[in-house]
Chains A and B, each alone.
Chain A
Amino acid sequence: MTRTEERLADALGAAARALHEDTLRPLLVPDRPRRHAAWAAPAAAAAGLLLVVGLAVALAGHLPGSGSINGAGSLPRFYVEAGFSGARPEVRSTATGAVTDRVPVPNAGGALVPYLLTAAGNGDFFVAVNGPPVTRLYRFRLNAAGQVRGLRQVPGGTLGNAQWAADAMAASPDGSQVAVSLGPRAAPGSTICSPSGRECIGPPSDHSDHIYVVNTATGARSFWHGGIGQSSAVSVLSLSWTRNGTELAYFAQWCPQGRANTFMSCARGTRTGGATAEVRAINPASGGGALTSGRRLFQLSATFPNVPQAVISPDGSTITAAVLTGSGGRWHTPTALAVEQISIATGKPLRVLYRQHLSGAASINSTPDYVTLSPDTTGKHWLLSTMNGSVPCGSNLNGWIDGGQLVPLPAGCTVVAEAW
């Protein structure tokens, strides 16, 4: 054994011995699942058949004709998604979930959030490839078979560096502008690694996110930054545009410096200690400035205390938000997730698009750490995906909302970016 091996074995042994067996928390035996009744199998088969028939009927009613692609006003025929694993983004059929193509962008190299995706109303898709050592934006279109065509780099779309990467993105409806927020690849005061272990870096000195708006024709960029005060850090959670492209909305939380790293709740579930979360709208034509110069459209309140995601509707009249409510379990975690439309004018809920009861941790549909809400270009159809890293692959939600139900879509594991 080398000296390093000896020291390692000694340290591991000592650390293990320090954990005394008689002080361990006893294991709890879970309730056994109920056995199915004798009639359950045929009933389930019948229900499954009804579900398949119902889904086929529903899709037939929604799907456009054979020549129609995304952006025609009805349910998009294809969607693009990227997972946490770093595999290249996939194009999938909305009807069948089958992969029709993969977006041949460069490998993200094990970045924490490898790819971001957004769709413009003119049929263009954009993908941000995070890494290394910079973030690059690409655009492409889909043909009638869901295959990627015309992939090319966006002028002015090389952003960030080894310390900064894109964490939210949205294209204007006409595809002439793409808004990208850049955040630190590592949290302050820590060194973190990507899941693959290929990227481990230290913290940047300042960890407030910035927003760039890139003119996709000329490459010209404008820039927004700045927290509420010098002691606050802003973290952008989503970007969205109104249909006419005159307003860019961002949903962000402001956290006291350092708190986001040591006590993770920050703005969610509380508004104390200077933490807050808001949706604000900025005018992209103004050429840049302070993030706080934007018009406030929504903020956390007693009605909406815990909102992991919120975007503006294309008509600019409502905020569509993922809202967590209830409290239960050991960690007093939320017990329900709802997708609600909220009036910007009154701040009151208008309607619930979808509601899902959440089970406990390590169970299906447990409380998400990360939620994506992706409207199509009409704002009528929403993709919803949730991610909780502590539950098995396949236990998170991923689908599109239809009449209060979530029509499930296949997911490789955990989805971190979707667009259609």
Chain B
Amino acid sequence: MAADGPDAPSAPDGHHEPGLQDVAGLFRERHAELVRLAALVVGDRATAEDVVQDVFARLCARDLLPGRDDALAYVRAAVLNGCRSVLRRRALVRRLGGARERDRSDAAPDSAEDEVILAEDRRQVLAALASLPVRRREVLVLRYWLGLSEAEIASVMAISPGTVKSNAARGLAALARRLGEES
């Protein structure tokens, strides 16, 4: 389910990975980053928190965590898998119209503060990002928010570096079109 990437990606700030010995330690260290990653992919905070909680619970219950070198990439991959499941379920639920939960991606922004912080220009960019296919969206978030290299993204997403490159290029081109820019 999750990637068994050979190389641990760098932290967003470029520091070396901390010595994460267990699930709780890793999540204590990376909770906010993981929720932000999920929020940027699924589009809302509450679902993002649920996704990260579910991954945390599963890893705790099953003692699933590879060695320290792979741990963060593994957890990021698990969070992205959880995001994909949510998005897939939303799509099918919308199609079938028969589910029980409110689709929280359609909800109002989390707070008035968010409204102010996210200026209209950024909203346009995020809306354009949200309209991309999931894989391209994930590649762009990992590249332009986490700052991961193509190899690191390939490891997290369990795809080839060439696929990362093509998805990034197509995703940026689509964004540029939707934002009315030259790519």
Which residues of A approach B to under 8 Å, CB–CB?
2-5, 7-19, 21, 24-25, 27-30, 32-33, 84, 112-113, 167, 183-187, 190-198, 200, 233, 235, 237, 253, 255, 260-269, 308, 331, 333-334, 361-362, 367, 369-370, 387-393
Contact = CB atoms under 8 A, between A and B. Distances in A.
A12 to B, nearest CB: 4
A12 B183 contact: no
B159 interface: no
9 contacts: A18-B113, A30-B61, A186-B94, A193-B91, A197-B133, A235-B97, A261-B106, A262-B106, A362-B57
Most buried by B among A13, A235, A389: A389
Contacts of B99: 264-265, 268, 369
B100 A5 contact: no
Given A7-B125, A264-B100, A13 B135 contact: no
Contacts, number: 204
B88 A195 contact: yes
Which 7 A-B pairs have CB atoms at the shortest separation, nearest pair first? A197-B133, A389-B89, A187-B94, A11-B125, A260-B97, A11-B122, A12-B145
A390 B97 contact: no
Given A24-B32, A389-B88, 7 more contacts: A11-B121, A15-B40, A260-B97, A264-B103, A334-B100, A370-B92, A370-B96
Given A5-B144, A15-B122, A200-B133, A113 B102 contact: no
Interface string B79-98: 00010111111111111111
Interface in B158-177: 172, 175-176
Given A112-B92, A369-B99, A4 B172 contact: yes
A389 B90 CA distance: 8
B74 interface: no
A361 B101 CA distance: 12
B39 A192 contact: no
A362 to B, nearest CB: 4
Interface in B9-64: 24, 27, 31-32, 35-36, 39-40, 45, 49, 52-54, 56-58, 60-61
A373 to B, nearest CB: 14
B103 to A, nearest CB: 6
A4 B95 contact: no
B134 interface: yes
Contacts of A11: 118, 121-123, 125-126, 129
Contacts of A269: 100
A4 B1 contact: no
B57 A369 contact: no
Contact of A195 (B40, B91, B145): B91
Contacts of A260: 94, 97
B56 A27 contact: yes
